[in-house]
């Protein structure tokens, strides 16, 4: 399959990953690369913006333009780069702490505004880089050094995303590269904000939500499921426990993106416009 | 041509929030600006939408003036409280214009002139709301101003039928004053020259940004910086500017960095509290070498402080804010005209040195109006610094390449065969994270070399104004320029020996020229709107020299020439005080 493509997988080999052997992040990296190859995107056409955490290192391990930003802040960097140059394919990459904890406010509002970017969240339900504290998505009762009595109620990113106005909300699993790469492709192809929450086993700090634990629970959404039905999607979003749905849980097509609404973008990518101080001349009369 | 006597007339308009104080003040300022006068106007208002007490002072002069004056020559009182509160500021020859039909039992030792504003407005236009315009007409009659200029302004400003109705209202006031004002108002204002622009510091910054090719602003509303965002939003369409009001200031600065990384000139604007939230982003700009212009319109802090008042209390904070060492520039416009040019320079420094540049204004400069000569756009230069030209065949581009002066050519993402990478982690030349001690040293040193370049080639050294040697040296920065200038003029007229150093490019601190100047100073005072003398602290740290005298103000009100001279009378050796 891959060899038929104009863009080769080898083009996406970056630095050697510093993740733990067996980490779910490897599956995510492979799925990202496969999606980019299959979409025939070349590295220079892609901008990967990440935060801080083990997840945030992903851009260095593939190839593309890279802005590895602060903990919790990839979204504002990514959406602004997209406005400045809408020709770029912009993918933001976070961990669950990065996305739903430190960056929670950006997460909420970017979905409401429907920026045309893809947001990949490596959700290992733990803070891995800082060595194993509870995260906003840790299961209730999850015991860590900072939560000796167990974690409290988790945030449900899928439900939050649907309610906050996201136009593409999907969940996938790092242990299923075929499924994950198809979700990433769909997310990139979607016009508008696409959230892909990826269940990612952390072999070092999360001994509860393991590959086995996820495998026993995840199931692909049945063919009759209609992701355009917002109420049904809300109900689906609440499913977590013995059975965990993966797939496109909610999708709304045809919604104007934030970029569509920007008057300044009507004349093409702002980065291609010439700068000319004399244009400001016409503004002075108002002050006389 | 006969030489005219210099004139300097201070108008004050006072009333409740919502009564139109600012619109009257702006119209008055503009009409005098159209007649070639120099006008300086400041606003004093409370953090509320209705009620309270607001006033605006509109100082109109035949000479360039950049400070407020406390003595009021003509008071336009929209409510009674204005008369009660501002009596003490009235000049001995001052006049109070008010509406005796609505404001009763007025007592004043000044000259009271009642104009039936509401009644005349109702009679002439059928709309009582135009009573403020009636007052304007009466005021212009007292100073003998040319009503044709007022008619033109009202028509331009309001347009159509509303414009015509306002013209009628203004003439009603003018005619009423002609018939009923029996004494002679001592000041005449006859047009003296070509029209000037009349605008606020915020507007000057916004215009400077547009002229400089800024294509992106993300900002979260906060007094006094909000009007920058608002102005750019109204011009987004015509000037092709991306304008975003994001969820918070953290998003604002990170968005500016994203847009800049992608290739645009980008900015954000806030006040102290918002700047606090931006601090980690400031460090991100530093380590990723992403150009960015950040306006901090200061107001009294800490935290929320006095939202609608002025202070220069963030200087020490902004020069050091964020963890780690990295170069930045801090520029503090001295006047409203300067605000335009400083902004243009800020964008050039940001891109030339690939650093964050902070423009430090304050409520006083941001919200005050002044006349300026029309900005000459042919004098605006755009310097985008070193931009990478792709070598054929290679993607050997290194965003953070180590160079002699520390500046690495910039490339933007989306260029065929060129990959641009940067990281908030310490990174190697290619922009990928590293923990190598050697690479860390190389990157820190390269950023430090940029600080050196910026200091020696970017920042313009300050000049001493007045004689090289004097008994008294005043030192100020930013918006106190106009007040200090006038205070020095007063001192010289009194026969004192004084000079003055003013800084508007503060960081990297021009230590050598300042140290040289201070070597020659006998008695020196900093003049600052803060409680601790933050410039004095920086001077001490950077030059080892102590400035002992401090004229400080931290009650949220602007420093005026009289405030400075009063302090010197009590404290300076010039006035015989012994230390
Ligand atoms: C402002 C700030 N606070 C805290 C940290 C420390 N920190 C780095 S990553 C991280 C959380 C990592 O968890 P997550 O985002 O889930 O990523 P993971 O490592 O699990 O992939 C924290 C708290 C930081 N770098 N910056
Ligand atoms: Mg995590």
Nearest to A88 among B250, B413, B416 (CB): B413
- Tell me how crowded residue A252 is: count the other CB atoms within 10 A of its CB: 18
> What three-state secondary structure class fits B58?
strand
CA distances from B284 to A70, A183, B175, B257, B486 (A): 7, 32, 63, 8, 41
Q: For residues A67 and A90, give the distance between their C-alpha atoms in angstroms, rounded to a whole number.
A: 11
Q: φ and ψ at B203, to 5 degrees?
A: -65, -35
Cross-chain residue pair A270–B197, CB shorter than 8 Å:
no
Nearest chain B Cα distance for residue A14, angstroms: 10
Which chain B residue has the Cα nearest residue A60? B432
Mutate to test the interface with A, among B200, B259, B434 (most CBs of A within 10 A): B259
pLDDT of A277 strictly over 70: yes
Q: Which of A188-197, A268-277, B45-54 has the least mean pLDDT?
A: B45-54
Query: Residue A97 Cα, ligand 2 centroid: separation in angstroms?
Result: 5
The CATH architecture that domain B464-575 belongs to is 3-Layer(aba) Sandwich (3.40)
With 0-12 / 13-18 / 19 or more C-beta atoms within 10 angstroms meaning exposed / middle / buried, residue B2 is exposed
Q: Which residues of A touch B252 (CB under 8 A)?
A: 76
Cross-chain residue pair B210–A283, CB shorter than 8 Å:
yes
Percentage with pLDDT > 70 across chain A: 98
Mean pLDDT over A64-88 rounds to 98
Cross-chain residue pair A284–B207, CB shorter than 8 Å:
yes
- Tell me how crowded residue B310 is: count the other CB atoms within 10 A of its CB: 30
CA distances from A282 to A287, B230, B372 (A): 11, 18, 16
Can you list the domains of chain A with their CATH numbers? 9-285 (3.40.50.970)
Q: Distance between alpha carbon B124 and the CA centroid of its chain, in Å?
A: 39
pLDDT of A1 strictly over 50: no
Q: For residues B345, B346, B347 and B348, what is the CA-based torsion angle, rounded to 10 degrees?
A: 50
Residue ranges of domains in chain B: 8-195, 198-379, 388-458, 464-575
The pLDDT score that the predictor gives to residue A5 is 67
Cross-chain residue pair A66–B432, CB shorter than 8 Å:
yes
The pLDDT score that the predictor gives to residue B46 is 85
* Nearest residue to B324 via CA among B282, B296, B272: B282
Residue B438 gets the label, from left (phi > 0), alpha (psi -120 to 50) or beta, of alpha
**CB contact set of B129 (below 8 Å; sequence gap of 6+):** B121
Q: For residues A130 and B33, give the distance between their C-alpha atoms in angstroms, rounded to a whole number.
A: 62
Nearest to A64 among B196, B243, B419 (CB): B419
**CB contact set of A277 (below 8 Å; sequence gap of 6+):** B211, B212, B213, B377, B378, B380, B381, B382
Which chain A residue has the Cα nearest residue B26? A287
Q: Which residues of A touch B395 (CB under 8 A)?
A: 44
- Tell me how crowded residue B467 is: count the other CB atoms within 10 A of its CB: 12
- DSSP annotation of A14 reads -
> Which residue's CA lies nearest to atom 23 of ligand 1?
A130
Query: Residue A133 Cα, ligand 1 centroid: separation in angstroms?
Result: 10
Nearest chain B Cα distance for residue A95, angstroms: 16
Write out the H or E segment, with its range, that includes residue B537. helix B534-543
Q: Output the CA angle A6-A10-A15, nearest 5 degrees.
A: 140
Q: For residues A208 and A202, give the distance between their C-alpha atoms in angstroms, rounded to a whole number.
A: 9
Residue the block writes with tokens 């990440």: A50
The pLDDT score that the predictor gives to residue B208 is 98
Tokens found for residue A271: 């980065």
Q: For residues B393 and A269, give the distance between their C-alpha atoms in angstroms, rounded to a whole number.
A: 26
Asked if residues A136 and A97 have their Cβ atoms less than 8 Å apart, the reply is yes
> Which residue's CA lies nearest to atom 1 of ligand 1?
A71
Mean pLDDT over A123-129 rounds to 98
The pLDDT score that the predictor gives to residue A224 is 94
Chain A 102-141, residues with CB within 8 Å of chain B CB atoms: 105-106, 108-109
Mutate to test the interface with B, among A65, A104, A259, A268 (most CBs of B within 10 A): A65
- DSSP annotation of B174 reads H
Tokens found for residue A35: 């999606």
The pLDDT score that the predictor gives to residue A2 is 44
Nearest chain A Cα distance for residue B173, angstroms: 23
The pLDDT score that the predictor gives to residue B47 is 82
Q: For residues B160 and A192, give the distance between their C-alpha atoms in angstroms, rounded to a whole number.
A: 44
The pLDDT score that the predictor gives to residue B1 is 42
Q: For residues B552 and B477, give the distance between their C-alpha atoms in angstroms, rounded to a whole number.
A: 12
Cross-chain residue pair B262–A60, CB shorter than 8 Å:
no
Nearest chain B Cα distance for residue A2, angstroms: 21
Residue the block writes with tokens 């001192």: B491
Nearest chain A Cα distance for residue B103, angstroms: 34
Cross-chain residue pair B432–A279, CB shorter than 8 Å:
no
> Which residue's CA lies nearest to atom 10 of ligand 1?
A53
ipTM: 0.98
Q: How many residues does chain A have?
A: 288
Asked whether the CA dihedral B446, B447, B449, B454 is positive or negative, the reply is positive
The pLDDT score that the predictor gives to residue B395 is 53
Find the DSSP H helices in chain A.
24-38, 58-61, 74-84, 96, 104-113, 157-164, 177-189, 211-217, 230-237, 258-261
Which chain B residue has the Cα nearest residue A77? B258
Asked if residues A17 and A33 have their Cβ atoms less than 8 Å apart, the reply is no
Q: Is the CB of A54 under 6 A from ligand 1?
A: yes
Nearest chain A Cα distance for residue B159, angstroms: 13
- Residue B111's DSSP bridge partners are B95
CATH 3.10.20.30 is right for the domain spanning B198-379? no
For chain B, say whether A11 makes contact (Cβ under 8 Å).
Answer: no
Q: For residues B445 and B457, give the distance between their C-alpha atoms in angstroms, rounded to a whole number.
A: 18
Cross-chain residue pair B423–A68, CB shorter than 8 Å:
yes
Cross-chain residue pair A278–B378, CB shorter than 8 Å:
yes
Neighbour order of strands in the sheet with B523-528: B464-465, B498-503, B472-477, B523-528, B549-552
- DSSP annotation of A102 reads I
Tens of pLDDT, residue by residue, chain B (579 residues): 445 678 999 999 999 989 999 999 999 999 999 999 999 999 998 888 888 899 999 999 999 998 989 999 999 999 999 999 999 999 999 999 999 999 999 988 789 999 999 999 999 999 999 999 999 999 999 999 999 999 999 999 999 999 999 999 999 999 999 999 988 999 999 999 999 999 999 999 999 999 999 999 999 999 999 999 999 999 999 999 999 999 999 999 999 999 999 999 999 999 999 999 999 999 999 999 999 999 999 999 999 999 999 999 999 999 999 999 999 999 999 999 999 999 999 999 999 999 999 999 999 999 999 999 999 999 999 999 999 987 655 558 999 999 999 999 999 999 988 999 999 999 999 999 999 999 999 999 999 999 999 999 999 999 999 999 999 999 999 999 999 999 999 999 999 999 999 999 999 999 999 999 999 999 999 999 999 999 999 999 999 999 999 999 999 999 999 999 999 999 999 999 987
CA distances from B213 to A27, A279, A281, B43, B121 (A): 44, 9, 13, 30, 45
Cross-chain residue pair B210–A279, CB shorter than 8 Å:
yes
Q: Is the CB of A206 under 6 A from ligand 1?
A: no
Query: Residue A80 Cα, ligand 2 centroid: separation in angstroms?
Result: 25
- Which contacts of B165-170 are long-range, i.e. CB under 8 A and separated by 24 or more positions? B165/B125, B165/B126, B165/B127, B165/B130, B166/B125, B166/B130, B166/B133, B168/B124, B168/B125, B169/B120, B169/B121, B169/B124, B169/B125, B169/B130, B169/B131, B169/B133, B169/B134, B169/B137, B170/B133, B170/B134, B170/B136, B170/B137, B170/B140
The DSSP string of B320-340 is H-SSS----EEE--SSHHHHH
Nearest to B425 among A68, A277, A284 (CB): A68
The DSSP string of A259-285 is HHH-GGGTTS-GGGSPP-GGGGGGGGG
Q: Is the CB of A45 under 6 A from ligand 1?
A: no
Asked if residues A238 and A157 have their Cβ atoms less than 8 Å apart, the reply is no
The DSSP string of B375-410 is P-GGG-------B--PPTT-----TT---SSSPPPB
- DSSP annotation of B225 reads T
Query: Residue A69 Cα, ligand 1 centroid: separation in angstroms?
Result: 12
Asked if residues A34 and A134 have their Cβ atoms less than 8 Å apart, the reply is no
The CATH architecture that domain B8-195 belongs to is 3-Layer(aba) Sandwich (3.40)
Q: Output the CA angle B316-B321-B324, nearest 5 degrees.
A: 130
Q: Is the CB of A95 under 6 A from ligand 1?
A: yes
Q: φ and ψ at A212, to 5 degrees?
A: -65, -45
The pLDDT score that the predictor gives to residue B393 is 56
Same fold, B8-195 and B198-379: no
Cross-chain residue pair B262–A79, CB shorter than 8 Å:
no
Q: Is the CB of A86 under 6 A from ligand 1?
A: no
Percentage with pLDDT > 90 across chain A: 97
Residue B431 gets the label, from left (phi > 0), alpha (psi -120 to 50) or beta, of left
Q: Which residues of A touch B211 (CB under 8 A)?
A: 277, 280
Nearest to A280 among B34, B207, B263 (CB): B207
């Amino acid at each position: 399959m891959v060899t038929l493509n104009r863009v080769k997988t080898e083009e996406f080999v970056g630095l050697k990953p510093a993740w733990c052997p067996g980490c779910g992040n490897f599956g995510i990296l492979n799925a990202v690369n496969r999606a980019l190859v299959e979409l025939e995107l070349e590295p220079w056409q892609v901008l990967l913006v990440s935060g801080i955490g083990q997840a945030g290192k992903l851009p260095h391990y593939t190839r593309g333009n890279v802005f590895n930003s602060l903990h919790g802040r990839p979204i504002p960097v990514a959406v602004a780069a997209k406005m400045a140059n809408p020709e770029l394919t912009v993918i933001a990459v976070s961990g669950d702490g990065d996305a739903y904890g430190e960056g929670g406010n950006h997460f909420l509002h970017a979905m409401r505004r429907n920026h045309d970017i893809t947001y990949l969240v490596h959700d290992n339900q733990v803070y891995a880089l800082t060595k194993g504290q509870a995260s906003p998505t840790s299961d209730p009762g999850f015991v860590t050094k900072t939560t000796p009595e167990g974690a409290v109620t988790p945030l449900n990113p899928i439900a939050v995303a649907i309610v906050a106005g996201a136009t593409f909300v999907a969940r996938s699993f790092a242990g299923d590269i075929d499924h994950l790469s198809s979700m990433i492709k769909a997310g990139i192809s979607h016009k508008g904000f696409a959230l892909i929450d990826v269940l990612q086993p952390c072999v070092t700090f999360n001994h509860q939500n393991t590959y086995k634990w996820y495998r026993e629970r995840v199931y692909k959404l049945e063919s009759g499921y209609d992701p355009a039905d917002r109420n049904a999607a809300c109900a689906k979003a609440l499913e977590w426990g013995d059975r965990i749905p993966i797939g496109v849980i909610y999708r709304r097509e045809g919604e104007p993106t934030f970029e569509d609404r920007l008057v300044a973008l009507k004349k093409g990518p702002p980065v291609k416009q010439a700068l000319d101080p004399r244009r400001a001349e016409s503004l002075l009369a108002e002050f006389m | 041509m006969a030489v005219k006597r210099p004139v300097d007339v201070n108008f004050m308009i006072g009333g409740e929030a919502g009564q139109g104080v600012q619109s009257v003040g702006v119209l008055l300022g503009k009409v005098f600006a159209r007649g070639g006068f120099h006008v300086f106007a400041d606003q004093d208002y409370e953090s509320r939408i209705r009620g309270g007490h607001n006033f605006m002072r509109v100082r109109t002069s035949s000479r360039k003036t950049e400070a407020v004056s406390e003595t009021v020559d003509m008071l336009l009182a929209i409510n009674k409280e204005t008369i009660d509160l501002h009596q003490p500021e009235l000049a001995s020859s001052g006049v109070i214009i008010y509406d005796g039909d609505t404001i009763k039992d007025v007592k004043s030792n000044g000259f009271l002139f009642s104009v039936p504003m509401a009644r005349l407005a109702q009679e002439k236009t059928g709309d009582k709301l135009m009573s403020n315009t009636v007052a304007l007409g009466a005021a212009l009659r007292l100073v003998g101003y040319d009503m044709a200029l007022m008619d033109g302004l009202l028509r331009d400003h309001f347009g159509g039928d509303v414009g015509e109705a306002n013209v009628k209202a203004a003439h009603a006031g003018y005619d009423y004053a002609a018939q009923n004002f029996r004494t002679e108002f001592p000041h005449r204002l006859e047009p003296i020259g070509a029209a000037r622009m009349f605008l606020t510091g915020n507007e000057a910054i916004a215009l400077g940004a547009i002229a400089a090719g800024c294509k992106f602003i993300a900002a979260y509303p906060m007094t006094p910086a909000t009007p920058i965002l608002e102005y750019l939003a109204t011009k987004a369409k015509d000037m092709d500017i991306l304008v975003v009001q994001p969820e918070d200031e953290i998003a604002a600065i990170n968005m500016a960095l994203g847009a800049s990384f992608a290739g645009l000139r980008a900015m954000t604007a806030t006040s102290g509290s918002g700047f606090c939230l931006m601090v980690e982003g400031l460090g991100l700009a530093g380590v990723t070498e992403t150009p960015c212009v950040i306006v901090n319109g200061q107001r009294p802090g800490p935290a929320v402080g006095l939202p609608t008042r002025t202070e220069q209390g963030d200087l020490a904070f902004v020069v050091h804010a964020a963890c780690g060492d990295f170069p930045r520039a801090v520029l503090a416009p001295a006047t409203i005209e300067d605000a335009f040019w400083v902004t243009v320079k800020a964008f050039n420094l940001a891109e030339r040195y690939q650093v964050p540049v902070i423009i430090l204004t304050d409520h006083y400069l941001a919200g005050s109006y002044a006349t300026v000569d029309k900005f000459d756009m042919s004098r605006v230069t755009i310097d985008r610094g070193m931009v990478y030209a792709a070598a054929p065949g290679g993607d050997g581009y290194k965003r953070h390449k180590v160079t002699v002066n520390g500046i690495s050519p910039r490339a933007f993402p989306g260029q065929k065969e060129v990959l641009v990478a940067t990281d908030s982690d310490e990174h190697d030349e290619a922009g990928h994270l590293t923990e190598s001690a050697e690479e860390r040293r190389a990157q820190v040193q390269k950023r430090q070399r940029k600080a050196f370049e910026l200091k020696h080639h970017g920042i313009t050294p300050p000049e001493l104004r007045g004689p090289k040697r004097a008994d008294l040296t005043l030192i100020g920065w930013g918006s106190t320029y106009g007040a200090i200038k006038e205070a020095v003029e007063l001192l010289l007229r009194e026969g004192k020996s004084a000079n003055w150093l003013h800084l508007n490019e503060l960081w990297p601190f021009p230590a050598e020229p300042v140290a040289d100047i201070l070597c020659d100073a006998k008695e020196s005072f900093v003049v600052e709107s803060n409680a601790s003398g933050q410039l004095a602290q920086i001077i001490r740290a950077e030059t080892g020299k102590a400035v002992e005298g401090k004229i400080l103000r931290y009650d949220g009100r602007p420093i005026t020439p009289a405030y400075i001279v009063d302090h010197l009378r009590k404290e300076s050796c010039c006035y015989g005080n012994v230390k």
